[in-house]
């Protein structure tokens, strides 16, 4: 997927995000640059550092959304972390290196899923054989020592025949009601749960996994339906077919070459004049971030991971602090700054209707499952957008998120009554919108609590 041109990337993003052209361009270029870098001769390739980006803009204007969609497009390992969640190394909490570990974990899952897809067909075949073994054990043939076998070849031939008959019935789904007994891995380890509390998540080694591998793998026999058995066996066979080491090294390679870390809320750790309290730690977190963004080696469960070429996209509202409040070294690591604009009423109209996941589409589809057909008139959409703007101005500007609260409120009645409205067709026009929302919008106090 990384072959998309910047223009195509922007076009893809346009399907979900309205406006914010500058930000889209910046991330599109960054993504394309990774692909360009891959094509360079090795010596030069190592020299090209990713151009990390800071997205600056008020809340709810699409910063996170852009990053999320971008990651999907890139098919690259992607994590989103809140900068404000980290604590300085040495303090209780998550240290910044954990983001690289998370990224690697994710990449391993990603590669594994791909590999499993590749061996699925073979795994299914093997699972079928094992299932047939279970349904018709070969050892059931009489093998009493000393007693002469009545025409050995004949039994074998008929056994094979029976097996094929069984296979046919299995494939036709005629055995679906039967159950077989399976040896399944017992994953539950009740004791370990006690240890792995909140403070443990940042640990270098996953305690659970460590203990898990120390304890003998417990298995238990379970009776399962044929369909379920097929699934379990296929999963087991697939696990056996893939090369774990190859998966790990490919995952590490992907993280190093194309990983993307989205550092949200970066403004929350800005603030240089360290006085007391959390500020001290904030600066510490910024310092800890430096080596990771600049390039260092992080020890993960899957081996050492270099962070030199991981792309970092930071985002923050920067209401109180400014990008210039970040420590200078860190500012230098994010050479690209893009600003996202506040959303206007026209933007709201488009956000409500245009994106592939537009809210109006979502609600219409949801209610359609109850056979209630919603029809939004154009002036209703305008009215909704205007209301969102008005409430954003009167209370707090939470950007497009306001649309969620407003729509939820608008459709509250219908959502509740829908099951009883079977087959109804509801037209939502401006008058309906006004009727449902006006009271609340008019009273600033009310809207503070409800919308």
Ligand X SMILES: Nc1ncnc2c1ncn2[C@@H]1O[C@H](COP(=O)(O)OP(=O)(O)OP(=O)(O)O)[C@@H](O)[C@H]1O
Interacting residue ranges for Mg ion, rule: CB under 5 A: 63-64
Q: Which phi-psi region, left, alpha or beta, contains residue 399 (left: φ > 0; alpha: ψ -120 to 50)?
A: left
Give the residue, chosen from 20, 230, 258, 307, that forms a contact with ligand X under the rule CB under 6 A: 20
Cα(90)–Cα(364) distance, integer angstroms: 51
Position closest to Mg ion via CB: 64
Mark the segment that binds ligand X (CB under 6 A) among 12-20, 232-240, 275-283, 436-444.
12-20
Q: Give residues 38-67 in contact with ligand X (rule: CB under 6 A).
A: 57, 59-65
Q: Give residues 272-311 in contact with ligand X (rule: CB under 6 A).
A: none
Partner touching 60 among Mg ion, ligand X, none, CB below 5 to 8 Å by kind: ligand X
Q: Is 24 in the site for ligand X (CB under 6 A)?
A: no
Query: Shortest Cβ distance from residue 80 to ligand X (Å)?
Result: 10
Q: How far apart are the first and last CA of the chain?
A: 40
* Residue pair 390/441 in contact by the 8 Å Cβ criterion: yes
Query: Shortest Cβ distance from residue 195 to Mg ion (Å)?
Result: 33
Nearer to ligand X, 310 or 400 (CB): 400
Nearer to Mg ion, 82 or 257 (CB): 82
Closest CA to 166 of 178, 183, 154: 178
Q: Is 19 in the site for ligand X (CB under 6 A)?
A: yes
Q: Give residues 319-378 in contact with ligand X (rule: CB under 6 A).
A: 351, 355
Q: Give residues 111-150 in contact with ligand X (rule: CB under 6 A).
A: none
User: How many other C-beta atoms are found inside a 10 Å radius of the C-beta of residue 161?
Assistant: 10
Nearer to Mg ion, 57 or 271 (CB): 57
User: How many other C-beta atoms are found inside a 10 Å radius of the C-beta of residue 20?
Assistant: 25
User: How many other C-beta atoms are found inside a 10 Å radius of the C-beta of residue 223?
Assistant: 10
Q: Is 106 in the site for ligand X (CB under 6 A)?
A: no
And the tokens for 225?
């339906």
The single residue listed with the structure tokens 């959303």 is 343
| H or E element at residue 123 | helix 98-135
The single residue listed with the structure tokens 């959502």 is 415
And the tokens for 392?
């954003």
Partner touching 54 among ligand X, Mg ion, none, CB below 5 to 8 Å by kind: none
Give the residue, chosen from 85, 337, 401, 434, that forms a contact with ligand X under the rule CB under 6 A: 401
């Amino acid at each position: 997927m990384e072959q998309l041109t910047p223009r195509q990337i922007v076009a893809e993003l346009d399907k979900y995000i309205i406006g914010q052209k500058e930000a889209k361009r910046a991330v599109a270029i960054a993504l394309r640059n990774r692909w360009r870098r891959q094509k360079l001769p090795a010596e030069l390739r190592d020299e090209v550092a990713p151009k990390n980006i800071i997205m600056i803009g008020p809340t709810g204007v699409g910063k996170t959304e852009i990053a999320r969609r971008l990651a999907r497009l890139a098919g690259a390992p992607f994590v989103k972390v809140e900068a404000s969640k980290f604590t300085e190394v040495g303090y209780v909490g998550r240290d910044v290196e954990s983001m690289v570990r998370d990224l690697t974990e994710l990449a391993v899952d990603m590669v594994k899923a791909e590999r499993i897809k590749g061996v699925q067909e073979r795994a299914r075949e093997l699972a079928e054989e094992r299932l047939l073994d279970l349904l018709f054990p070969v050892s059931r043939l009489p093998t009493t020592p000393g007693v002469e076998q009545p025409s050995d070849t004949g039994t074998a031939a008929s056994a094979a025949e029976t097996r094929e008959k069984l296979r046919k019935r299995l494939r036709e789904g005629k055995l679906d009601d039967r159950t077989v007994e399976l040896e399944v891995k017992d994953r539950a380890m009740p004791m370990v749960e006690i240890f792995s509390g909140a403070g443990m998540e940042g640990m270098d080694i996953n305690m659970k996994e460590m203990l898990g591998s120390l304890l003998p793998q417990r298995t238990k026999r379970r009776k399962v339906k044929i369909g379920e058995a097929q699934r379990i066996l296929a999963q087991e066979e697939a696990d056996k077919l893939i090369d774990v080491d190859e998966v790990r090294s490919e995952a590490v390679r992907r993280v190093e070459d194309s990983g993307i870390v989205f550092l949200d809320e970066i403004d929350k750790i800005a603030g240089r004049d360290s006085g007391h309290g959390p500020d001290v730690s904030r600066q510490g977190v910024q310092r800890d971030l430096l080596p990771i963004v600049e390039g260092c080696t992080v020890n993960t469960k899957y081996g050492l991971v270099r962070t030199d070429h991981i792309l970092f996209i930071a985002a923050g509202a920067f209401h109180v602090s400014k990008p210039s409040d970040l420590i200078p070294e860190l500012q230098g690591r994010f050479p690209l700054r893009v600003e996202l604009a506040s959303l206007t009423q026209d933007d709201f109209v488009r956000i409500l209707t245009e994106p592939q996941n537009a809210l109006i589409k979502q609600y219409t589809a949801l209610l359609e499952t109850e056979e209630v057909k919603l029809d939004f008139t154009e002036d209703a959409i305008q009215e909704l957008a205007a209301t969102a703007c008005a409430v954003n101005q009167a209370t707090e500007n939470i950007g497009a998120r306001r649309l969620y609260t407003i729509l939820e409120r608008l459709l509250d009645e219908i959502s509740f009554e829908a099951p009883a409205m079977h087959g109804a067709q509801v037209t939502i026009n401006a008058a309906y919108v006004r009727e449902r929302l006006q009271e609340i919008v008019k009273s600033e106090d009310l809207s503070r609590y409800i919308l």
